[in-house]
Amino acid sequence: MTGTAAATEPIELVVFDCDGVLVDSEPIAVRTHVALGAELGWPLSESDVMNRFVGRSTTSIGEQIAERLGEETARIWDKRFRDMHAKAVDESLTPVDGIVEALDGLEAAGLGARQWCIASSGSHDKMRHTLGRVGLYERFEGRVFSAHEVERGKPAPDLFLHAARRMGVDPSRCAVVEDSRFGVQAATAAGMRSFGYAGGLTPADWLTGPTTVVFTDMRRLPSLVTAHGRREVTDAAGDRAQVPAEG
């Protein structure tokens, strides 16, 4: 079930992206890629990294680097990125502002932890590190899915469909929380609704779509999820975000 039909179904599973949604790691990743590009021969601006890499799987990023600089440089880039990113995470990573309150609010609204999962382009090792660093891993343990488990990463729907199958929920009853346009595109392709978080690096207009509500304050997520069946919901900025009506 896709498109507006999905919006008529109750939400039984909230699928979270990780970087930029649960942990505020996107600025770290962007800065690291910019630094490596300058060092290894592919000058990139922060905007370039946002356009090319953010929301993509490690495999997809590596393929782009290999096409530009060759396989050996892509391997060096990947190794250096992992080391530099891990060091920066240990020094400065924080949870996304408001995410703890959002998770608590979902539980209070009747969507308990067994009705959440993670579907991220990152590896399991990376997620264990970042989520563990900010004290969130235990809230999702056993319900964490990586793009490394599927053939195609975002914007293909494979990862979200894999998560839904593993959690035993029809895609039409899933809602994705994303902060990248590739993630929103993947949710749409999977027949899922999405909540596009524009409180981080990603411009709000990159997240808009026919089955997407864009919002800027993570604390608003529980009220947005519980309002899924209404024709309109109000986003954190006080504007109207369109949600498909029934039928």
| Residue 3: how many other CB atoms lie within 10 Å | 12
- 239 or 51: which carries more pLDDT confidence? 51
Q: What per-residue confidence (pLDDT) applies to 233?
A: 37
What domains sit in the chain, N to C, each tagged with a CATH number?
Answer: 3-24+94-242 (3.40.50.1000), 26-92 (1.10.150)
- In the chain, which ranges are E strands? 13-16, 116-120, 144-146, 174-178, 193-197, 212-215, 232-234, 240-242
The arithmetic mean of pLDDT across residues 128-141, rounded, is 96
pTM of full prediction above 0.75: yes
Query: From CA 116, how far away is CA 114, in angstroms rounded?
Result: 6
Q: What per-residue confidence (pLDDT) applies to 231?
A: 37
